[in-house]
Structures are given as C-alpha cells and as structure tokens.
Amino acid sequence: MDTNEMIVEKQLTELNIGHYVTKIAKQNGNLSLSTPGHIKSNKVINRLKNQSIFSVFIDESKTIPNPASTSPTHKSPKDRATIKAEINKAKAIFDESKTIQKKLFARALSGMTVDLAPVIEVTNKSVDAIFNSPDSLACMINIREKDEYLLEHSVAVAVYITIFAHHLEMSKAVVQHLSVGAFLHDIGKIKIPDDVLNKPGKLSEEEFIIMKTHANHSIDIIKKIPGINKLSLEVAALHHEKLNGEGYPFQVEGKDISQYGRMIAICDIFDALTANRVYKEGFTHNKAFSILRELAKSNHLDITLVDQFIKCLGVYPIGSLVQLESKKLAIVEQRNNNSPLKPKVRSFYSVNLNQYVNTQDVDLTDTDDFIVKSVRAEEFDLDMNTIIEMLLMEG
C-alpha cells in the first residue's frame, strides 16, 4: 500500500460527494468496482445503496471538496432558518390581508367609501416580500380555509399577479398598482345574494346573469375610492373579459384588453381552479395549467402570457405537493431552473405506511427518485396547515 494513501472504511450513510472510493468493504452480494474513483453525485451513492452495499473503503488523501457544500443554493441550517422566517412573515402578511379584506367587504356592503390606505400598506408588504424573495408568499397560497374563499381568493390573486409581474420584470410602481387592483377586483361580490354566490354546482342562466353583475358592482365601488390609480381600476374592470370578446361585463375585444387585463384573467382563473371550497376540491396545479392552455386555445386567454405564467410559477410550484416514485409525499421547496422537472423537495409522508415519516431534503437532480405526479393533501386525508406547521417545527 502506498504510504501516501489514507484508507478508511466508510458506511454508505457517511459517504459524500468528493470521496475517493477504492473498493467495496461490506455488501450483501459479490459486486466489485471496475476502477477506483471519486463520488461525483448523490446518484452514485444511491445506486450503491440500491445494490445492497453497506460500506466502502476510501482514500482520504484524495478527497476533493464538495462544491455543493459551499454553493449559494445549498441549504445549510442558516438557509433553513431563513426559509422558516420567510414563511412566518408571509403567513403574517396573508392573515393581515384577510383581515383587511373582511373590513373592505363590510364597508362596501354598508355603502361606505372604501379606505384605500390599509390596502396600499398591506399590498406593498406583499410586493416587497416578493421582490426580495419571489417564492416567499407562494407557500401561503396553498394554505386555505374552505369557508373563506371569498376573502382569500382576492388576496391570492393579488399575490399571483405580483409574482407574475415581477417575473415579467415590470417596475415596482406598476406592480404595486396591479396588486391593489387585484386585491379589490372581487369586492362587488358582496352585493351578490348568498344563495347565488355560494351555490354548489352549476348556476342557472338567471343565476349566472346575477353573478356576472359582481364585476359591475366592483367597478362602481372602486371608482368611488379616493386616490385610486387608473391602473388598479383597469385590472379590476378587465378580469372577466376574454380575447374573443365574449367576456363580461363589457365584452371588450382582445385588441382592447391590455396586457395587465390579460394577466389578471389568468391569475383569477388559476386561483379559482386550484382553491378548495366547501363544496368542491381544487385541481392540482398541473391540471389547472392544462386548463389554462385549453382556454388559451379557445381564444379566452393570451397563450404567450399563459406559458409565461406557467414558467413563472414553475411546473411544480413552490409549496405544492408531489408524490415521488419512492411512494413518499413531498412539498416543493426550491425550483431548479435548469431542470424544471427536478426541484428540491422535502419528503414527509409514506404513502405505503399511510403515516408521517422523518422529513428529508431531496435534490431530485442528485437521486434516482423522481416526481410521479402532483397531488393534493385532501387525497390522503391530510391538512396543508398541519403539513406546513410540522415542516416549520422540524426546520
């Protein structure tokens, strides 16, 4: 043996990228290495585990540093603490937004003029949070109360259009006005009778005529708000218009629908599709993306903006749930722009055992495991609030 060699035995659980493996030490089989070499990815380690290898000999003198350990995207304990702080801050903004939304509806119902100041203040908090960290509020959108759809929908649409506009590199001033308009876009629904507004199932023709008047009510209420920006009014007024001119309330044709109006239509429909309600479970994000593209093909939505919206949120959006080939459920924590189908996830639940398991951070670019499909917590009788709280506690 070369005197410069420092041969030690390492369990597979101790093996890291950069270690130089000389040969197999313990295994449940008769495999042998064709040649010694460095561990270049976690895929190699997982492959060894799958072949029932328990330990290997490494030459410590040839170990090279693992670039991931110093990479800005590597999740150190500090990164985890930062994520936890961002989610807690996002939850506070989301809760504050709902409180303000409730007060807005009460004032609108009583015929009082809406106070714009708190709306600007809370939407600016959302805009700042998203400009600082585009994914910071995405997780909160998935934690929804079924009986608070009216309140949470407008908050969520405001978040989506902020994320979308930031992705399109619009100025912060424009984004702030868009966020305010989205926050207010459904305020007219307070004028719609409850038996129509909350009816499960399809509305009758007469009921749908009544429901459509909410857009007119919203425009009337928003126009009377002192200090409202014309851009905020514009996005609220256009959120149900279609490119083919068959939308409402004014059947505006595509050439007259601004980019901002096209954007809020996408955000509004996407949230309506994915949100849970008392009488209906929402679709998975992937299913909702598919429906958006079908609507674009029917000339309801702008196809270029739909594709940009999907790119903006990611094939597997932050905070969404996925099922892995390993029969585990995981929450998407970080996108991978180079490999959109292989984000960083955190597994927490065994489908086979029907129970929570120890959480594990998984970079799907460094493992043979992969996403089988998007899922919803309700499919497994789970609650997103419980999942998020558990993951924060373990963070």
Q: In this model, does residue 78 exceed pLDDT 70?
A: no
Q: What is the mean pLDDT of residues 197-211?
A: 94
pTM (2 d.p.): 0.79
Has residue 66 got a pLDDT over 70? no
Residue 309 near residue 164, CB atoms below 8 Å:
yes
Q: What's the distance, CA 197 to chain centroid?
A: 27
Say which residue the tokens 């010694």 belong to. Answer: 36
Distance CA 137, CA 90 (A): 5
The pLDDT assigned to 387 comes to 87
User: What's the pLDDT at 393?
Assistant: 63
d(CA 289, CA 308): 11
Residue 285 near residue 317 (C-beta atoms within 8 A): yes
Instruction: Please tell me the least confidently modeled range out of 135-144, 206-215, 256-265.
Output: 135-144
Sign of CA dihedral 86, 142, 267, 313: positive
| pLDDT score, position 172 | 96
The pLDDT of 361-381, averaged and rounded, is: 93
Under the phi-then-psi rule, with left for phi > 0, alpha for psi from -120 to 50, and beta for the rest, what region is 18? Answer: left
DSSP letter for each residue of 337-387: SS-TTS-EEEEEEETTTTEEEEEEEEEGGGSS--EEEEE-GGGGT--HHHH
| SS3 call for 216 | helix
* 23-27, 70-74, 88-92: the lowest-pLDDT one: 70-74
pLDDT of residue 300: 98
The larger pLDDT score, comparing residue 203 to residue 39, is at 203
- φ/ψ of 37, rounded to 5, equals 180, 170
Q: What is the pLDDT of residues 306-357, one digit of tens each?
A: 999 999 999 999 889 999 999 999 999 888 888 889 999 999 999 999 999 9
The region of weakest confidence among 56-70, 140-154, 237-251, 253-267 is 56-70
pLDDT at residue 55 in the model: 87
Each residue's pLDDT tens digit, 166-202: 999 999 999 999 999 999 999 999 999 999 999 988 9
Inform me whether the pLDDT recorded for 71 exceeds 60: no
Question: Does 7 score more than 60 pLDDT?
Answer: yes
State both tokens at 57. Answer: 């000999």
CA distances from 124 to 103, 120, 267, 283 (A): 18, 6, 18, 29
* Max avg pLDDT among 2-16, 63-77, 147-161: 147-161
Q: Greater confidence, 88 or 123?
A: 123
Compute the average pLDDT of residues 71-81: 48
The one-character DSSP state at 136 is T
Say whether pLDDT at 76 is over 50: no
Query: In this predicted structure, what is the pLDDT of residue 79?
Result: 61
Distance, CA of 199 to CA of 187 (rounded, Å): 18
Q: Residue 116 pLDDT more than 80?
A: yes
Residue among 280, 362, 281 at smallest CA distance from 329: 362
Does residue 143 have a pLDDT over 80?
no
Q: Does residue 198 contact residue 226 with C-beta atoms inside 8 Å? A: no
Say if residue 265's pLDDT is above 70.
Answer: yes
For residue 80, the model assigns a pLDDT of 64
Please state, in angstroms and rounded to a whole number, the distance separating the CA atoms of residues 270 and 286: 11
pLDDT above 50 for 165: yes
* pLDDT score for 220: 97
Q: Is 90 exceeded by the pLDDT of residue 270?
A: yes
- What integer pLDDT is reported at residue 394 of this predicted model? 62
Q: Is 1 a residue whose pLDDT tops 60? A: no
In this predicted structure, the answer to whether residue 20 has a pLDDT above a threshold of 90 is no
Q: What is the mean pLDDT of residues 85-104?
A: 91
Structure tokens belonging to residue 257: 């629908």
Give the C-alpha distances (Å, rounded to integers) separating 372 from 39, 125, 282, 350, 384.
27, 36, 19, 14, 20
Helix 172-184 vs helix 117-132: crossing angle, to nearest 10: 130
Residue 67 has pLDDT above 60, yes or no: no
The whole-number average pLDDT for the span 34-55 is 81
Question: Percent of the chain, pLDDT > 70?
Answer: 93
Q: What length does the chain have?
A: 395
Secondary structure (3-state) at 53: strand
Using only the alpha carbons of the chain, give its radius of gyration. Answer: 25
